[in-house]
Structure 1
Amino acid sequence: MAVTARGEELRFDFPLPRTHTGIALGNGAVGCLVWGGARLHLTLNHIAFWDHRGGETLLEGTTYERLKAAYDPGDQRTLEAAFLRRRRPEGVLRSMRLPFGRFEFGFRDGLVPLEGRLHWPTGRLRIATAGGELELALLPDADALLLADPDGLVSEIGVHTCWEHVGEELARYRFEPPHVVT
Structure 2
Amino acid sequence: MNFPMPPQGRRNRVFPPTPPTLHSLAAVITGVVVVCGLYFGRAVLIPITLSVLLSFLLAPLVTMLRRLHLGSFLSIFLAALATVLALAGIGTLITAQIVQLAADLPQYQEAIEQKVETVQEKTVGRADLLMSRAATALQRVTPAPPPAPPPPHGHAARNAPGVPMPVEVHPPAPTPM
| TM-score bracket for this pair, using the shorter chain length | under 0.3
Q: Please give the TM-score of this superposition, normalised by the length of structure 2.
A: 0.14
Higher strand share: 1
Between the two structures, name the one with larger relative contact order (CA 8 Å, sep ≥ 6). 1
